[in-house]
Amino acid sequence: MGTKYLLSILLLCAVCHVAQASSGFVTVNGRNFYLDGKKYFYIGTNYWHGMNLGAPSSGNQTRLTEELDQLQEYGIKNLRIMGSTQGPDNKSKRIVPSLEYEQGKYNEDIFEGLDTFLYEMGIRDMKAVVTLNNFWEWSGGFPQYFEWYKGHYNLYPTGFYKDSTLTSKLDDFIRVIINRENTAYKKYEGKTVLYKDDPTIMAWQLANEPRAGDCTDWVKWINHTSTLIKELAPKQLVSIGNEGTITGCSERGNHVENIDYITFHAWAQNWGWYSPHSRNGLNNGISRAQGYITSNVNLNKNRNKPMVLEEFGLARNGNSYDPASECDIRNDYYDGVFSKVYDFATDESLMSGANFWAYGGTGRPRSNGGWWKEGDDLIGDPPHERQGWYTVYNTDQSTLDLLKKWTTKFDELCQ
């Protein structure tokens, strides 16, 4: 082989390597995420209502862009979002307007809201984890599928996974959303960008907290659905969205080949680890949360996949729903959780990130602790929960400063 030919081959390989490294897609190698040739660690948030804010007719695009700027300022670069909501829009404690307002019929205003949301994230170099459905009824989800296609409403729908009628309807939606062309890229840049080709989308998530009934049925569904997504969108990652060891079957689901990384959630108050009415139980809440993080890491050490704590939160002092109330107890809890995740991140990359629940930005409850009604601001607390429970606002300066501290530390690991 001639020297000039060899040099040409080496140069071509170098160019290909650079192109691959700068593709903008988050990839996985062993326990690490990679982005543009560097390890990708992050502190992120849940911002499930972004597609509704982005809707050109029914949303508030000014608020959306302001809040994305706020998150960017404090180093938040990963958003876990809803990409699917179901009607009918006259149900209480439900996100409205919904994306799928009737079976197989989509509200284009909300879809364009998701287009805008993803576009605005992309120009800020943020990454999205797009959740494709929900075990719980606050977005319609599996319960609404039961009502639409089986004729009865199921509030705890563990039978979803073995019902081919229901799973096929989810498959239909997955094909629609993954193959969708983002209208915002066309509008603002004149480019044709399909969702499956957009590096802003780090991952597709099968569902929010899909609790297992029969483990065998659950794992089969995970295998089937993750394989479908990989066939449609091979450049993007896939995760389950499950809560971890507290719900059972977790390790078996994490074993599925096309699940790229492991997720779990930790809810100190909801799961009875902590009572918010005094500071005395805070240490126990932190200890239990850190122990739960450790147990999930230990169970999945041999999986050799990245791991993310993608939901955790805490109420303000005294369980107050008032945005003006103190939140130093929540800050201490956040600090304890982030420190544990960081310890594992620096220990052979046993963890890669965490998303707190949730950012409400400039939104405010109509009634502190009341129930959400159509026309109210969408904040971090979904419509089925009392408004102001876990939301972080743009005025929670002490919490935002804490987030900046930890996003800086995690950014330093991205080498």
381-399 residue pLDDT tens:
999 999 999 999 999 999 9
Q: Which pLDDT does position 2 carry in this prediction? A: 46
CA 231 to chain centre: 21
Confidence tier at 278 by pLDDT (50, 70, 90): confident
Q: Which pLDDT does position 1 carry in this prediction? A: 45
Confidence tier at 279 by pLDDT (50, 70, 90): confident
327-380 residue pLDDT tens:
999 999 999 999 999 999 999 999 999 999 999 999 999 999 999 999 999 999
Q: Residue 14: pLDDT above 90?
A: no
CA dihedral (364, 367, 369, 371) in degrees, to 10, reads -100
> 22-31, 56-65, 108-117, 130-139: which has the minimum mean pLDDT?
22-31
Report the share of the chain in percent with pLDDT over 90.
Answer: 91
Residues 174-202, mean pLDDT to the nearest whole number: 98
DSSP string, 347-382: TTTS--EEEES-EEET---SSTT----TTSPP-SS-
CA 380 to chain centre: 13
Q: What is the pTM of this model?
A: 0.94
Q: Which pLDDT does position 361 carry in this prediction? A: 98
Residues 88-94, mean pLDDT to the nearest whole number: 94
313-324 residue pLDDT tens:
999 999 999 999
Q: Residue 44: pLDDT above 60?
A: yes
Domain 22-411 in CATH 3.20.20.80? The answer is yes
How far apart CA 376 and CA 154 sit, in angstroms, is 27
Residue type, 127: K
Q: Which pLDDT does position 415 carry in this prediction? A: 85
Q: Which pLDDT does position 412 carry in this prediction? A: 97
Q: Residue 28: pLDDT above 60?
A: yes
Alpha-carbon distances, residue 323 vs 64, 326, 395 (angstroms):
19, 8, 8
Residues 8-28, mean pLDDT to the nearest whole number: 53
Confidence tier at 173 by pLDDT (50, 70, 90): very high
Alpha-carbon distances, residue 313 vs 267, 296, 356 (angstroms):
7, 18, 6
Do 79 and 356 touch, CB atoms closer than 8 A? no
Confidence tier at 208 by pLDDT (50, 70, 90): very high
Q: Which pLDDT does position 129 carry in this prediction? A: 98
239-263 residue pLDDT tens:
999 999 999 899 999 999 999 999 9
Residues 14-25, mean pLDDT to the nearest whole number: 49
Q: Which pLDDT does position 23 carry in this prediction? A: 77
Q: Residue 102: pLDDT above 60?
A: yes
How far apart CA 170 and CA 250 sit, in angstroms, is 21
Q: Residue 229: pLDDT above 70?
A: yes
